A and B are shown apart, each in its own frame.
Chain A
Amino acid sequence: MSVVLGDALGPRGRRRTAIASVVSSAVLLGLLIIALRRLSATGQLDAAKWSFLVKPLVIRFLLGGLGNTLRAAAVAIVPAVTIGTVLALGRLSRKAPVRLAANAYVQFFRALPLFILIIFMFYGVSKLGTDLSPYWALVAGLSIYNAAVFGEIFRAGILSLDRGQSEAALSLGMRRRQAMWLVVLPQAYRRMIPTILSQSVTLLKDTSLGFTVTYEELLRRGVFVGAAGKDPLQAFVAVALIYLAVNMTLSRAARRLEIRQRRRYRAGSIDIAGAEDLQAVAAGASMGGT
């Protein structure tokens, strides 16, 4: 890491930081050893305690839970992104009532806990004359909440775009709507891809709330496996590792996209035919001037 926190230290300062970092590493390693010793003392590290995790039945059961988790996340993202786009456009609209409505939606649903929304979808919606299954309650709660979040993300993306883009489009004779859909929005989406992906990771993690409305996703199945085998620790470790694997894949994809994007859309990388000539002319003009 090339970050410097302050001035280069003198000999005494160097000695001090060296001692501090050695001591703190020793403390950390000591804590790790103590934790492992206590785990092995209670027999938690015995192979017998972990072997149930590789039974085909358990693996299939947990992977089925993962499938349900991924399904809920994938299905919830679609309406969330769609409504989010509508909300972003609404918040930037020229008509005051539209702005007001979109603002109200975003402020309201961002201020509510997602958890309440999902419980509400599960227990409360029956008052409206329909019942939602745990799956649809989860998907509905996730979409409604994340629409507000995506709305904010898209709005930030649109606003972060140089105003020259829409001005250029308008001066080419496009209508405002055309400029928005053909010029501004595609660029705003592209610019926001890393943020969209990281919000998708959050959404994926939030599907674990389906646990509370009896949706059979990964966490619920993990808890069930742990309770059935009386080995909750091992089951939780397995569930956590599966979540980590999925989320790491997604974050890695996000980082790769970000890097590729930066390479492709680096400032000043746009080639204009005859640019060299223009520069030569400009240089000649400035030389002639002096």
Chain B
Amino acid sequence: MAAAVLLGLLALLIRLIVNSRFADFAVVRHYLFNRSILVGLRNTLVISVLAQMVGITLGVTLSVMRLSKNPVLSVTSWLYIWFFRGTPVLVQLLFWFNAVPQVFKTFAVSVPFTHIVLYQKPMVLFMTSFMAALLGLGLNEGAYMAEIVRAAIISVDEGQTEAAQALGMRSGLIMRRVVLPQAMRVIIPPTGNEFISMLKTSSLASVVLYGELLRRASDIYSTNLRVVELLLDASIWYLVLTSIATIGQYYLERRFARGASRELPLTPLQRIRRNLVPGRPWFRVLR
């Protein structure tokens, strides 16, 4: 029954799209490699990578704080995670972009409790769209990464460290050769997922006017009214980005799985090559 429902829905969708002259594909093709769109694509990549890096750095710090015995540190970390996971990222973005420049007129780095100012700038010039997007996305990501890193640190068995010590390794070497590679195995897959979702979440930066892919597309369609076509262009690029990221994630996970599973899953290339060798079952079936 589920099958029938699904096929029916699919048929309906296809008919709808074909019948309604839904999109002019010539326009889609025309804007796909438009300069402005490509710049937006680059900006999407830039903001995603930077925000993810901010998130990872914050996440490592927060997770170590969370595991600390000092109550000030662990409570601060808990509060941070609670706050940033509990509020929508759009609220946070608008907070940085709209509320902060209205409240604080200048951004200044000064030596605390003195009047020595090291760096000063009007807040409007400091809190640009880019800065607001980076802070909003990065700080939010930090809360999610913190939980991932914490789980990974907990997951490495103590016996691993002890065994390495028994072999006479020093602590730096143990961290580098024994603990981190195993923690990475737990960190990498969810971090990959986080990055893929970051690529998509970065589209929210368009609300604070950062010129990423969606912003560029909407700038164009607000003048020529080709909404569907330009949204399709943006979608195509997002699909390309997430697909590449997914493939990258597969190979990265495969690399870090070494030593955990006896037989690594084959890469698609290996699978093709193996199937083309005579004498293999698949080949024999063909003959």
Q: Which residues of A contact B (CB under 8 A)?
A: 1, 3-7, 21-22, 24-25, 28-30, 34, 38-39, 42, 44, 85-87, 89-90, 93, 95, 97-98, 101-102, 105, 108, 111-116, 119-120, 123-124, 127-129, 177, 205-206, 208-209, 211-212, 219, 222-223, 226, 230, 232-233, 235-236, 239-240, 243-244, 247-248
Contacts and interface: CB of A to CB of B under 8 A. Distances in A.
Given A42-B103, A240-B87, 16 more contacts: A22-B70, A24-B73, A25-B72, A28-B72, A29-B72, A38-B104, A86-B5, A86-B6, A115-B203, A116-B214, A116-B234, A128-B22, A226-B99, A236-B95, A244-B87, A247-B87
A3 B239 contact: no
Contacts of A244: 82-83, 86-87
B238 A1 contact: no
B242 interface: yes
A230 B3 CA distance: 55
A134 to B, nearest CB: 15
Contacts of B180: none
A3 B67 contact: yes
Contacts of B221: 123
Contact of A7 (B68, B161, B228, B234): B161
Main secondary structure of the interface of B (DSSP, over half): helix
B90 A208 contact: yes
Contacts of A124: 227-228, 231
Interface string B54-81: 0000000000010111101110100000
A209 B242 contact: no
A269 B154 CA distance: 28
Contacts of B172: none
Nearest to A234: B99
A98 to B, nearest CB: 4
A46 B22 CA distance: 55
Interface of B: 1-3, 5-7, 10, 16, 20-23, 65, 67-70, 72-74, 76, 82-83, 85-91, 94-95, 98-100, 102-104, 112, 153-154, 158, 161-162, 165, 200-201, 203-204, 206-207, 214, 218, 221, 227-228, 231, 234-235, 238-239, 242-243
B112 A34 contact: yes
Nearest to A232: B99
A5 B7 CA distance: 52
Contacts of B90: 208-209, 211, 219
Nearest to B234: A116
Contact of A108 (B94, B206, B239): B239
- B22, B72, B162 — which one has the most chain A CB atoms within 10 A of its CB? B72
B96 to A, nearest CB: 10
Contact of B88 (A30, A119, A129, A219): A219
A93 B3 contact: yes
A152 to B, nearest CB: 11
A98 B6 contact: yes
A134 B88 CA distance: 19
